[in-house]
């Protein structure tokens, strides 16, 4: 009887804290909203070990695997690719980290999103604020990666391969919501490695 009670208790704890079930493999569903908090799109964010795949409701997918980023256009069955590299020793990156240290405020506020414990951060930049709720226990977040832009460097310096945002809300200088990007569901499922590869029928194109 005691053994049965212990097993039931263990199952209930596992259900309450999904991050305790080992490295996450499966899908996180993100929903995008405009300033009026009207849904404008979704992103399915797939994770398996060091591989990541993003499927956008607007069409197309992005793969991050084996040191490369692939952009797939399903209608034309084509793709483009770039190396997934970021020079964290560059002066630009160091300056961005210094800026972040001055403008990122971390709070003791806690919140649970889709079953994962999060903490609240506030980033002030150009008289505007971005509120993010971050969790840990995931691989590097690649949603905002565009390795030719300062925005990519900014987000990498913020998260530093340790934190994973489950909600990002941008505010204008008057405190009005500009946009929100929020995790609205998740599913743990085993994924085949081929799901994170460009199909052999797809043709490369210049980016």
CB 62 within 8 A of CB 69: yes
Q: Which residue would you say has higher pLDDT here, 88 or 60?
A: 60
Question: How far is CA 127 from each of CA 32, 78, 103, 120, 174, rounded to the nearest angstrom?
Answer: 23, 41, 11, 19, 9
pLDDT at 149: 61
Local confidence band at 19 (pLDDT 50, 70, 90 cut-offs): very low
pLDDT band at 100 (very low <50, low <70, confident <90, very high): confident
- The answer to whether the Cα torsion of 146, 140, 105, 129 is positive or negative is positive
pLDDT value at 96 more than 90: no
pLDDT of 6 reads: 30
Residue 198 has pLDDT above 70, yes or no: yes
Mean pLDDT on 65-90: 86
Radius of gyration of the chain (CA): 19
Contacting residues for 200 by C-beta, under 8 A, at least 6 apart: none
Cβ proximity of 180 and 145 under 8 Å: no
| pTM confidence score | 0.81
Residue 159 to residues 28, 94, 140, 173, Cα–Cα distance (Å): 18, 14, 8, 23
Three-state SS for 79-118 is EEEEECCCCCCCHHHHHHHHHHHHHEEEEEEEEEECCEEE
Q: Is the pLDDT of residue 4 over 70?
A: no
Three-state SS at 126: coil
Q: What's the whole-number average pLDDT of the chain?
A: 83
């Amino acid at each position: 009887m005691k053994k049965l009670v212990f097993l039931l208790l263990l199952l209930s704890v596992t259900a309450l804290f999904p991050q305790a079930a080992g490295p996450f493999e499966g899908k996180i569903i993100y929903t995008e909203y405009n300033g009026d908090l009207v849904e404008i799109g979704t992103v399915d964010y797939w994770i398996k070990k060091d591989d990541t795949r993003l499927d956008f409701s607007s069409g197309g997918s992005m793969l991050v695997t084996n040191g490369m980023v692939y952009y797939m256009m399903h209608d034309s069955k084509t793709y483009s690719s770039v190396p997934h590299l970021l020079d964290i020793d560059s002066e630009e990156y160091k300056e961005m980290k210094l800026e972040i240290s001055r403008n990122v405020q971390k709070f003791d506020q806690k919140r649970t999103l889709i079953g994962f414990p999060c903490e609240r951060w506030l980033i002030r930049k150009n008289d505007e604020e971005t509120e993010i709720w971050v969790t840990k226990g995931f691989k590097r977040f690649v949603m905002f990666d565009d390795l030719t832009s300062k925005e990519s460097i900014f987000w990498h310096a913020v998260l530093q391969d340790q934190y994973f945002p489950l909600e990002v809300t941008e505010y204008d200088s008057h405190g009005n919501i500009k946009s929100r990007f929020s995790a609205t569901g998740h599913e743990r499922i085993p994924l085949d490695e081929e799901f994170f590869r460009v199909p052999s029928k797809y043709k490369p194109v210049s980016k």
